[in-house]
Structure 1
Amino acid sequence: MQLPLHTLLSLLAVGPTLVTAHATLISLSIAGQDQGKGADKYIRAPATNDPIRDLTSPNIICNTNGGKPAPSFVKAAAGDKLTMRWWHYNPDDPNDYPLDPSHKGALLTYVAPYTTGDGQGGIWTKIAEDGFEGGKWATEKLIANNGNVEVTLPSALAAGRYLVRQEIVALHQADFAGNDPAHPGRGAELYPGCAQVEVTGDGGKKPDQGFDFNKGYKYDDKGLHFNIYVPFDSYTPPGPRPWKG
């Protein structure tokens, strides 16, 4: 049987990097101030850097350690710029890297009122998204910026404790839907990371989109089932459009 050209291209593109190209959220800077390594301090660090593919699992929210609160918070004012850093394994290793270039896709950022639980339910609001613009994927910008992704907390955000969730939506295997029984192991790869942030400088407005990942992310969503190996005009990330307050 002869495979379609786009399938051959996708297999060639991802074949060498399936095991080695993963990433996790490792640290934050707030208004230019490095908050230090965050794993199990203010970031709910997962057990591995493997992707999440099961959209029905609570792990798509804050990853495999999402239900275990970190012991502390970092502080940021409403309107502050957050720099969230991603890495494959070890940023101190000169031979390591943030993310394999084959993992093209989007970067999305959400907030929810702080919970000691795993983040399930309609509590999330998207505050930023970056997909494909100017001929570049958001993940290409992440790599060029040494693993760093800048987002701005909405100035309208009410003071309080929040989970700030950022995810990489890697589309290198998303030419097939993630629940396609004929192509097991395919589909979009999600790399979520959750940081615990205490927001000051009360903007007065509570995020109110009420987004639920387990209900809102669908296998046939065009933001999650998308072929990057054929010509396309545009890409719309999954989830709601960002809240501005």
Structure 2
Amino acid sequence: MKTYNSALVAAGVFAQYAAAHSTFQQAGSGSTDFNTKCTRLPPSNSPVTSVTSSDLACNVGGSKGVSGFCEVNAGDPFTVEMHAQPNDRSCSNEAIGGNHFGPVMVYMSKVDDASSADGASGSWFKVDELGYDAASKTWGTDKLNANCGKREFTIPSKIPAGDYLIRAEAIALHTAGQSGGAQFYMSCYQVKIAGGSGQLPAGVKLPGAYSASDPGILVDIWGNGFSEYTIPGPAVIDSSFF
């Protein structure tokens, strides 16, 4: 991760990076490429900035479903994929650039019908997260960029079969030293899971799980004293669900 003088950041040097936004667009499982078949794509690559907005669940317009589903089995791998521009999956371009450093998280929500659930009414549990590694000074977004925008996780095997929304999220913290400065990028995927059994983990509401003053949301990552980072939201569910 590159380092910069925090005074320069405060002076607005990074205004040039305002357009370096991004979107979670494609999905896959193993050798299967779903592309955008089951993705509720937002109308633009701009972020959500309010932690109390209903858009925090599935992004602007994400309360409305699409016609497609991604069908997987419990215990399968699932890959979410982020890119800056629509349909640009070139690995030569950063998934999220402009020094938009921050964590990457994946949530799931059990719903009756993934094509009609609004995302904000249900309960979400976290299945994956990438934060900040102080030793290498790398963020979850750095790892996305290094892997062509892709993050693979495992669908829990010990949850009920049925319809789910999968929510992939990256939080850009380059201007998060001031309240309302964090940028939230998320998309929801409509998924049908077969073969699962068991109980659902405890969940949280989105919006509701984040506060604007959370240490992982209101944070100066450029300050000389920055050395560790607290990922916002709940912990990843217990390994017994996998």
Q: Return the alpha-carbon distance in structure 1 between the equivalents of residues 91 and 66 of structure 2.
A: 29
**Residue aligning to 2:128:** 128
What TM-score does the superposition give when structure 1 sets the normalisation length? 0.86
Contact 1:91 1:97 in 2 (8 A): no
Q: Deviations over 1:44-83 (max 9, x none)?
A: 1111110000112111110012111111211111121111
Q: Which of 82, 106, 109 in structure 2 is aligned with 1:109?
A: 106
**Residue aligning to 2:177:** 175
Shift of 1:12: 5.2
Q: Return the alpha-carbon distance in structure 1 between the equivalents of residues 199 and 61 of structure 2.
A: 29
Q: Return the alpha-carbon distance in structure 1 between the equivalents of residues 146 and 11 of structure 2.
A: 24
Shift of 1:93: 6.2
Give the number of aligned pairs: 228
Q: Which of 211, 222, 227 in structure 2 is aligned with 1:229?
A: 222
Shift of 1:107: 0.4
Contact 1:58 1:118 in 2 (8 A): no
Shift of 1:150: 1.3
Q: Which of 173, 193, 213 in structure 2 is aligned with 1:220?
A: 213
Q: Return the alpha-carbon distance in structure 1 between the equivalents of residues 146 and 228 of structure 2.
A: 22
Q: Return the alpha-carbon distance in structure 1 between the equivalents of residues 106 and 185 of structure 2.
A: 12
What TM-score does the superposition give when structure 2 sets the normalisation length? 0.87
Q: Return the alpha-carbon distance in structure 1 between the equivalents of residues 205 and 226 of structure 2.
A: 29
Q: Return the alpha-carbon distance in structure 2 between the equivalents of residues 95 and 148 of structure 1.
A: 13
1:100 and 2:97 matched: yes
Q: Deviations over 1:214-233 (max 9, x none)?
A: 22211100111111102323
Q: Return the alpha-carbon distance in structure 2 between the equivalents of residues 102 and 11 of structure 1.
A: 16
1:148 and 2:150 matched: yes
Gapped regions of structure 2 (runs ≥ 5):
none
Answer with 53-62 or 197-206: which moved more. Answer: 197-206
Q: Deviations over 1:168-218 (max 9, x none)?
A: 11100101111xxxxxxxx10000110011111213222322x11222211
Moved over 4 A (4+): 10-13, 92-96
User: Kindly, what percent of the aligned residue pairs are identical?
Assistant: 32
Q: Return the alpha-carbon distance in structure 2 between the equivalents of residues 162 and 10 of structure 1.
A: 41
Contact 1:112 1:124 in 2 (8 A): yes
Q: Return the alpha-carbon distance in structure 2 between the equivalents of residues 154 and 99 of structure 1.
A: 27
Shift of 1:95: 7.4
Q: Give 3-state SS (helix, strand or coil) of 2:107's partner.
A: strand
Q: 1:241 to 1:92 in 2, by over 3 A?
A: closer
Gapped regions of structure 1 (runs ≥ 5):
179-186
